[in-house]
Structures are given as C-alpha cells and as structure tokens.
Chains A and B, each alone.
Chain A
C-alpha cells in the first residue's frame, strides 16, 4: 500500500449501511467513493475478505483534553485512538482549560483537528465557563460550525438558564443543546451509583433521581421552546423511560448511551478501583437491561463513548479522590458487537445506526454515516467481526491508560479506517 494512495479498492467485504447489506468491492478515488460492485478494479487493494465495510463511526462524546490537559490526551492522540476504533468523526467536549466557550479557543481546536486522523467537530459551551449562569457566545461558535452545545461535565442545573439557552438557540438551525443530566444538588458529593453497593461500601452516592429529574425537566423545556435537546450518556431506567415517553409524544429529544453503561454495573466498584469511577456512574443490572431495551426499541439514538482520559497518577488515588471518567474509543465498536449484536440485543444494522448515521445526523456531520455509494465522501470503517482480542491497556493509542476493560476479551476488531479517502488505519495499524 503506497502512502496516501489517491485510488484504491476495498476488496471482498460485506458492505453494510443504512440502505442494506451486500458483498461488494468499494473503489475509492480522490477522497470519494467512486464505485461499489462486484470485481471493481483500480489501484492497490485493501483486503476486506471476511470483513464488514461500514460507514465511518461517529462519536458524539469525547474528551480530547486539549487545550489544558495534554498530559492526558491531545487532539492528535485522541483522534488516533478514534481512528483505531473505527471512528471517522468525533465531537470534542468543552470541559477543557480554557473551556470551549470562546470563538478563539474553538477555532484552535478545529485547526488542530484538521491535521488529525479523524474529523474533529467542536462542541461549544452553553454557558460561560460552564458555570450555568450567563450564555456563552453561541452565535459566534455556531458561525464556526459548532452544532452541539453543552456544558458537559456540568449540568445546566437552573431551569431558567436552560430555558433561555434553548430559546436563544432557536435562531440557530441545526443547533442541539446536549445536557449532562445530573442534578448537582442530588448527585453532588457522590462518587458512585446510590444503591445497595454504595450503602455497603460507604461511598457517597449519586441517585438515579438526579438524572430523571433533569431529563423530565428538559423534556418539558424542549416542548416549551421547540429547540431539540440531546441527552448525553443516559444511564438509568428512569431516564430511558422518560425519553421514550417524550418521543412518543413527538417532543424533539434524542439520547445517547455509553458502552460502559450497558456492559458494567456498580458492583465493579466493590474493589474501590477508580478505573470504575465515572459520571454518571455505573448503575444496576436493571438499568443495563433498560438501556438495552431502549437501544432495541429506538428510544436511544446513539452510542457515544464519553472517552475521558486521565493520567495514571489521577487514578492512583482513593476512589473518592480520583476524577471520574474512563477511556472508550478503542473498545466501543467491539463492545457493541460483543455485548449487543452477538447476543441478539440489536441487529447489526441498528447497532451501526447508533454508532454512525444517527449520531452523524444529530451532530450535522453530513460527510459521515451516509450510504456507501458513488459520490459520497470516503469515510469508512472495515471491521473483522470474528477476531477475538483482549484489551491491553499498555497497547492503547490514547495517551492515558484508564480503561475499565483491562483483560476483557472482545469479539470484532477494526481492521482499516478510511478518512476522506485516506487509509489512516491499515490492518489495525495507525498510518500516521
């Protein structure tokens, strides 16, 4: 494979997208898909025998830590981890230092993102400094291309402020306000799910009601203002039920879940290992079941990683003193295949919808997630669904090591990733 070939064929794979599922070769020329069909010729070959060729994955929720915490991750390293995980686009969360509440900071993130191994869309803050008080310059950020506004890491906890932000965003077509739904007056000071385990371990808890009260409130505000609300990392049965009910009534809401919320529970916290500390916290078996049901019936629109790198020292602390968050990008696709598709919770196409075209639509990322057909930008992922592999923290591309899946065996591994016609990952190896 020559470096950055202008033309190549992805040979022998099963092409799966929103339109269907067929065995075909995919010819990529000049950054776009040029032909899809049997025995397509042209340029060097990317072998895809036994693999699935799917639209590049889109992650609505990553913390790239730049600017401010480049020891933990940079846009370059985070994007490399994303590409290795099959993602061709990610939305960078705004809790950087300084935060993404200023056009100059957002512009710098976008500039660094243009050199990265996946497309980096920037979110923008809803409020200045993510303090939940005054509005951030949403119009200026929108003009730079920002579509997802969020104070993630913090909840916009005052109803009046959220209402005004939603009203204001009504003038910005395609803008979505994404809420970290955890009422700080209920969850503040808590470090894990409030329930049997937290009571036994003596770790202050974050109750399910902290999520449900904010979801219920913001559904009401979305109805009042007509501006869409996206719920970040929904974690509870109650939250899923409220979103389902809102969608049934036609309210403009969408929701994402993180892989750790359908693969892990609060019981993991019993060893006091902060690798399992995350906000919102790992919940119960019943919540995991409700999230799976929400994915299966379409209540949940997207699987988003909430990739949250932390330097090793940050997690080498007592549970209560360690920061929340875990890595997600490099295992998300395999977790979805292993825990949702293989057991029959989600059909393959529905899983891909949650990992690719539905999040692309929410974020307004037109070049991603679309059907694999001539004329479309070549943002593609080739995954070998049969490969068994074990998560080894030391071999991750992220600058950080805080995965909760160390030693876990997963099925399905990304083989190639193509970004704007460039093979950025070939045979599981990042090309730059």
Chain B
C-alpha cells in the first residue's frame, strides 16, 4: 500500500490487518510514555483545506507518538488565499521533504489527484462527499473492541441521516460490508444517494421500521444548509422522523450500540440523553482515532508488519 485514498484500497484482509495493528497501538497508548521511535526521521504533513480540529489533531498526535516530525498546513493561514493552486502548494510542500501527506479537501478525489502528482504517501482525511477511510477504520475498531473480534458477520448496522452528502457514510458502508456486516442506509429520499447501484447496502426511508432490528445505529450529522437547498422542510421535522429521540432509543434491542462521527447536533439527529446513555460508544470512537491513524501511518511509512 502506497497511499490510503479509499476503503477500496484495503479490502477485507487489509482492513483486518490495520485493525490488528490498531489494537496493538491501543495497548501501547496506555503506557506511561506512549511514544516509540518507529517513524523517527520521517516527516508527516497535514494539509487541511477544510476546518477539522479533531481529525487533524488525531493524525498529528498519531504521528508524534511514532516520533515522526510533523508539519501542519491549513488553507486559512496559507498562500491559498494568495491564489496558489493545489498543485503548486503540494509540490512546494513536497520539496521540503515529506514522507506522508494527510489531506483533507472539500473536493472529492483531491487526494487522488495529489497522489498522482507526488511520491510521498497520501492519506485521505476526508475528500468532499467521497470518503473518509480512517473514520470507517476507527468505527470498526470501536465496534471490534466493544463487541469482540468475530462480531461483524451478520451485524446489522443502520447508517441514519444525510448519507447523500456524507463521506463518512461512503467509507463506512464499504468498510462495514467488507467485514461482513449487513448495512442499511436510512433517511429521507432527498438525503439518500440518487443511486445505490453498486453499494453493498439497502435503503430504507422509515427509521421506525428498521430500528428494532438494528445492532448498531450510526447517526450522521445533519447540516443546516440542507434546509436552504429544499432537501428538508425543517430540523424539527427531521428529528420527528429520523432523530434518535429517547422514545425511539427505548425501542432498541438491549445490546444495540449508538455511534456518531461527531460533531453532534444534540437535539437534532440524537437526543442528549441518548448520546450520554450507556448504549452510546461515541467517546470510544474518538479515543480509538489515534490508534487507527498510528496504524495507518506505520503501515505506509514503517518497516511493515506488527509492532512488538
């Protein structure tokens, strides 16, 4: 693997390998000094054209725990405002000598373009509506740690909300299905993809129909701008039809877990008391992010294989 651009780059064996590696890094981060010289002398740059404090910090923390040098580039504080093109920016950064570029961009496929321009490894940290592979991996890691290694096969996962505009959903559907889960995407027709041809998932427009069968309820963030585009009448109507309210949560199976990639709109797609309930594993998701990103960086830049 030279780059991590899409879950498609991994397949089930690649996913499982990264998850195994991530588990070892989880153990490792519990040590008193959670730092190893695995990537000493390597340089990892985060190149973020969209704001995302949590993902950027998670990658930078992962790189630092592996003793890589890190550089950070954000569009807001850079020469992008002076009209520099993506190609020129990327070549300039590469000329400084970097081994991996972690890219977040508002356009689908921007990391793929960058990977075609430079030799350094490229990690997709979210591209437009396309993919966010490390999010899907950390979600799988969270489920595996919570439910056990063999829990994926036949696991019923419902991804609820704005699937159409969601890179988290696109990576998640692929990753969950690859490890054997049974995926349903749930939302109003205006927020489901125009076509699901080739998606290993089936659609549902009535959350209450599918809710009692789900083992995992994965909620997506609803953005206010969808109202202006005539995709939704109101957030209140969304909540009444698709929000995981306390009432709906009470109809879940006792061992069903609730996930969310953050940041949450409490009171819209998820009720505050549900987010904070024992069924919620949302904070575990955040905690697992660093370990997964360590695994990804180690796989791309390290000598390969498991870290002892």
Cross-chain contact of B108 among A194, A195, A207, A319 (Cβ < 8 A) = A319
**B170 and A272 within 8 A (CB):** no
Cross-chain contact of A320 among B108, B193, B196 (Cβ < 8 A) = B108
Q: How far is the CA of A313 from the CA of B193 in the complex (A)?
A: 32
**B87 and A317 within 8 A (CB):** yes
Check A272/B108 contact, CB under 8 A, given A195-B194, A320-B128.
yes
**A316 and B85 within 8 A (CB):** yes
**B residues less than 8 Å from A205 (CB atoms):** 194
**A200 and B199 within 8 A (CB):** yes
Q: How far is the CA of A194 from the CA of B193 in the complex (A)?
A: 10
A196 at the interface (CB under 8 A from B): yes
A169 at the interface (CB under 8 A from B): no
**A200 and B198 within 8 A (CB):** yes
**A317 and B85 within 8 A (CB):** yes
Mask: chain B, 105-133; 1 = CB below 8 Å from A; 0 = not: 11111101100000000000001111100
Q: How far is the CA of A58 from the CA of B107 in the complex (A)?
A: 38
Mask: chain A, 312-356; 1 = CB below 8 Å from B; 0 = not: 010011111100000000000000000000000000000000000
Cross-chain contact of B195 among A196, A203, A313, A321 (Cβ < 8 A) = A196
B197 at the interface (CB under 8 A from A): yes
Q: How far is the CA of A348 from the CA of B197 in the complex (A)?
A: 38
**B87 and A199 within 8 A (CB):** no
Q: How far is the CA of A195 from the CA of B193 in the complex (A)?
A: 9
Q: How far is the CA of A317 from the CA of B107 in the complex (A)?
A: 10
Check A318/B130 contact, CB under 8 A, given A195-B195, A271-B112, A272-B112.
no
**B residues less than 8 Å from A201 (CB atoms):** 108-109, 130
A122 at the interface (CB under 8 A from B): no
The secondary-structure label for the interface of chain B is loop
**Shortest CB distance B127–A (Å):** 8
B86 at the interface (CB under 8 A from A): yes
**A318 and B194 within 8 A (CB):** no
**Shortest CB distance B191–A (Å):** 12
Check A196/B198 contact, CB under 8 A, given A201-B130, A202-B130, A313-B87.
yes
Mask: chain A, 204-223; 1 = CB below 8 Å from B; 0 = not: 11010000000000000000
**A203 and B129 within 8 A (CB):** yes
Residues of B in contact with A, size category: 20 to 34
A398 at the interface (CB under 8 A from B): no
Q: How far is the CA of A271 from the CA of B130 in the complex (A)?
A: 12
**A202 and B87 within 8 A (CB):** no
**Shortest CB distance B195–A (Å):** 4
**B residues less than 8 Å from A196 (CB atoms):** 195, 197-198
A:268-306 near B, CB below 8 Å? 271-272
A379 at the interface (CB under 8 A from B): no
B260 at the interface (CB under 8 A from A): no
**A residues less than 8 Å from B196 (CB atoms):** 199
**B residues less than 8 Å from A320 (CB atoms):** 106-109, 128
**Shortest CB distance B179–A (Å):** 19
A198 at the interface (CB under 8 A from B): yes
Q: How far is the CA of A214 from the CA of B250 in the complex (A)?
A: 50
Check A272/B113 contact, CB under 8 A, given A317-B86, A320-B108.
yes
B167 at the interface (CB under 8 A from A): yes
**B110 and A202 within 8 A (CB):** no
**A319 and B107 within 8 A (CB):** yes
**B residues less than 8 Å from A317 (CB atoms):** 85-87, 113
**Shortest CB distance A287–B (Å):** 14
**B87 and A203 within 8 A (CB):** no
Q: How far is the CA of A207 from the CA of B131 in the complex (A)?
A: 22
**B residues less than 8 Å from A272 (CB atoms):** 108-110, 112-113
Check A318/B108 contact, CB under 8 A, given A202-B130, A203-B128, A272-B113.
yes
In this complex, the member of A201, A202, A271, A321 whose beta carbon has the largest number of chain B beta carbons within 10 angstroms is A202
**A202 and B129 within 8 A (CB):** yes
**Shortest CB distance A135–B (Å):** 31
**A residues less than 8 Å from B128 (CB atoms):** 202-203, 318, 320
**A321 and B87 within 8 A (CB):** no
In this complex, the member of B109, B129, B130, B199 whose beta carbon has the largest number of chain A beta carbons within 10 angstroms is B109
A:182-200 near B, CB below 8 Å? 194-196, 198-200
**B109 and A319 within 8 A (CB):** yes
**Shortest CB distance A88–B (Å):** 38
Q: How far is the CA of A340 from the CA of B170 in the complex (A)?
A: 38
Q: How far is the CA of A204 from the CA of B198 in the complex (A)?
A: 17
Q: How far is the CA of A134 from the CA of B196 in the complex (A)?
A: 42
Q: How far is the CA of A313 from the CA of B87 in the complex (A)?
A: 8
Which residue on chain A has the smallest CB distance to residue B192? Answer: A199
Q: How far is the CA of A201 from the CA of B109 in the complex (A)?
A: 8
Mask: chain B, 65-86; 1 = CB below 8 Å from A; 0 = not: 0000000000000000000011
**B residues less than 8 Å from A198 (CB atoms):** 194-195
**Shortest CB distance A315–B (Å):** 10
**Shortest CB distance B201–A (Å):** 11
Mask: chain A, 353-373; 1 = CB below 8 Å from B; 0 = not: 000000000000000000000
**A residues less than 8 Å from B194 (CB atoms):** 194-195, 198-199, 205, 207
Which residue on chain A has the smallest CB distance to residue B109? Answer: A272
Cross-chain contact of A199 among B105, B109, B167, B193 (Cβ < 8 A) = B193
**Shortest CB distance A202–B (Å):** 3
**A residues less than 8 Å from B199 (CB atoms):** 199-200
Q: How far is the CA of A199 from the CA of B197 in the complex (A)?
A: 8
**Shortest CB distance B108–A (Å):** 4
Mask: chain B, 156-178; 1 = CB below 8 Å from A; 0 = not: 00000000100100100000000
Chain A residues at the B interface, C-beta cutoff of 8 Å: 194-196, 198-205, 207, 271-272, 313, 316-321
Q: A319-B113, A320-B109 are in contact. List 15 more A-B contacts (CB 8 A).
A: A196-B198, A199-B195, A200-B199, A201-B130, A202-B127, A202-B167, A203-B130, A205-B194, A272-B113, A316-B113, A318-B109, A319-B107, A319-B109, A320-B108, A321-B107
Q: List 23 A-B contacts (CB under 8 A).
A: A196-B195, A198-B195, A199-B194, A199-B196, A199-B197, A201-B130, A202-B127, A202-B167, A203-B108, A203-B129, A207-B194, A271-B109, A272-B113, A316-B86, A316-B87, A317-B85, A317-B113, A318-B109, A318-B110, A318-B128, A319-B109, A320-B107, A321-B107
Chain B residues at the A interface, C-beta cutoff of 8 Å: 85-87, 105-110, 112-113, 127-131, 164, 167, 170, 193-199
Question: Which 8 residue pairs of A and B lie closest in terms of their CB atoms, listed nearest first?
Answer: A272-B109, A202-B129, A318-B107, A202-B130, A196-B197, A199-B193, A318-B110, A320-B107
